Amino acid sequence: MRVNPADDDRYMSLALRLAEKGRGTTSPNPMAGAVVVRRGRIVGRGFHLRPGLPHAEILALLEAGPLSEGADLYITLEPCCHTKKRTPPCVPAVLDSNLRRVIVATTDPNPLVDGKGVAALRRAGLPVTLGVKEREAQALNRTYSHWVTARRPYVILKAGMTLDGQIATSTGRSRWITGMPSRRDAHRLRTQVDAVLVGVGTVLKDDPSLIARTGPRLLAPADRQALRVVVDSTLRVPPGAHVLSEQETAKTLVATTTAASVSRRRALEQLGIEILILPSAEKQVSLPALLRALGHRGITSVLVEGGGEINASLLRGKLIDHVCLYVAPMLLGGADAMGLIGGRGPVRLASASGLRGMKIRSLGEDFLVEGDL
Ligand SMILES: NC(=O)c1ccc[n+]([C@@H]2O[C@H](COP(=O)([O-])OP(=O)(O)OC[C@H]3O[C@@H](n4cnc5c(N)ncnc54)[C@H](OP(=O)(O)O)[C@@H]3O)[C@@H](O)[C@H]2O)c1
């Protein structure tokens, strides 16, 4: 069988671009794209759009129809072989298509799959090339991979800050540190995650709605907007807060402890707000318990837009996976201003958390600085 690695790269790149079309809508499923190529001609394409809809390879094979016979199938993620989901497994459909070869970018880290899809194809005698554009395919689904392996959502810390690291003035004012291009980009981030989280301190000071006002979710129903999560140990969130309004557009969950009064709980429940009572740690909501609970209900990613206190607890608990900092060209100063991470700092510099894979992009006059923790 003649195989050209440059062609493999090219067709897999196309499959990856198709997969990208599902960003923000496939969760808790991974993004996936597929291309069917017969004698150098693309005869089928597909990508996974949302849970319950067909997987990428099924759509690509459907489009190819009888032309899939003797063709090569490029898929960004190995086909599934388990039945614990709404759609039937893809391995039998792939085997029934009389393909010549299957090219897979990466295996699925879900323990129910984890190489079993590739193994099943090979066992049936279908040649499989594994690992074409593997790094790119793994990066595409890092949120999903984190969720299925760590069993908690991928946590992204986002903030708008001054060059000297302040996120609010001494009186708690933060609107607006960054310019419009940064704020628009931050709304784009909201459209790509399953939940947006703040501490009650931010609700009391800024009264944000946390709704994505831009991008594909603008007109989307409630199940397509990120879940809004408020961390509030004693239910201080005022019933008139913006974060509790527009429930028909985006749902809100308030995470609290048994220290909250029953009457406050009832008042919020009457507004249609879900109250989640969690264990407490030092009289505050246990954030590991909250993230576990969110992961359990299929929340694969959380964008933290909170203030210094919530950021500090997450950093202390080693619960941050990625940071997105919008840095504005201004110095604020003041020991009493609010820094990005509050609380007491470590004594030793060696205790600082180093970032990896740093990237910088300019947005108007600001810079977006990103990295992994
Ligand atoms: N520039 C930016 O990007 C940006 C973004 C957001 C906020 N801000 C600014 O940040 C300021 C608010 O900061 P903040 O620190 O007061 O707000 P926060 O971090 O959003 O909320 C802190 C509150 O969350 C509650 N909480 C519950 N469990 C917690 C836990 N495990 N760890 C930490 N907190 C927990 C606590 O209140 P209970 O004990 O009552 O539960 C705590 O006081 C405002 O001035 C706002 O403008 C700036």
State how far the Cα of 337 lies from the Cα of 333, in Å rounded to an integer. Answer: 7
Crossing angle for the helix pair 5-20 and 56-64, to the nearest 10 degrees: 110
Q: Tell me the whole-structure pTM to 2 decimals.
A: 0.93
Tell whether residue 202 is among the known ligand binding residues.
yes
> What residues does 284 pair with on adjacent strands?
281
Residue 262 has pLDDT above 70, yes or no: yes
Q: What is the mean predicted confidence (pLDDT) over 277-291?
A: 97
Residue 146 lies in a domain: no
Q: Which domain holds residue 16?
A: 5-141
Residue 44 lies in a domain: yes
Three-state secondary-structure class, residue 68: helix
Residue 274 lies in a domain: yes
Residue 109's domain is classified under what CATH number?
3.40.140.10
Summary mean pLDDT of the chain: 94
Q: How far is the CA of 233 from the centre of ligand 1 (A)?
A: 11
Q: Which residues line ligand 1 (CB under 6 A)?
A: 159-161, 167-168, 172, 174, 177, 198-202, 205-206, 231-234, 236, 284-285, 287, 305-310, 313, 338, 342
Q: State the first-to-last Cα distance of the chain, in angstroms, to the nearest integer.
A: 44
The two three-digit tokens of residue 260, written as one number: 């909250």
350 and 279 both lie in a single domain: yes
- What's the pLDDT score for residue 217? 45
Q: What is the mean predicted confidence (pLDDT) over 171-199?
A: 94
114 and 195 both lie in a single domain: no
360 and 308 both lie in a single domain: yes
- Select from 370, 313, 305 the least CA-distant residue to 159: 305
Residue 319 lies in a domain: yes
For strands 280-281 and 72-77, give the pairing.
unpaired
**Torsion, CA 352, CA 353, CA 358, CA 364, rounded to 10:** -70
103 and 159 both lie in a single domain: no
170 and 266 both lie in a single domain: yes
Question: Residue 307: pLDDT band by 50, 70, 90 thresholds?
Answer: very high
Q: In this structure, how many other beta carbons lie within 10 angstroms of the beta carbon of residue 67? A: 17
164 and 80 both lie in a single domain: no
Q: Which of 166, 310, 330, 332, when mutated, tests ligand 1's pocket best, judged by the most ligand atoms within 8 Å of its CB?
A: 310
Total of domains in the chain: 2
pLDDT in tens, 89-125: 899 999 999 999 999 999 999 988 899 999 999 999 9
Residue 215 has pLDDT above 80, yes or no: no
pLDDT in tens, 43-78: 999 999 999 999 999 999 999 999 999 999 999 999
208 and 259 both lie in a single domain: yes
- What's the pLDDT score for residue 4? 86
Which of 141, 173, 188 corresponds to the end of one domain?
Answer: 141
Which of 119, 141, 163 corresponds to the end of one domain?
Answer: 141
Q: What is the mean predicted confidence (pLDDT) over 216-238?
A: 79
109 and 32 both lie in a single domain: yes
Which of 113, 141, 169 corresponds to the end of one domain?
Answer: 141
State how far the Cα of 264 lies from the Cα of 71, in Å rounded to an integer. Answer: 62
Residue 328 has pLDDT above 70, yes or no: yes
- Select from 167, 17, 8, 133 the least CA-distant residue to 73: 8
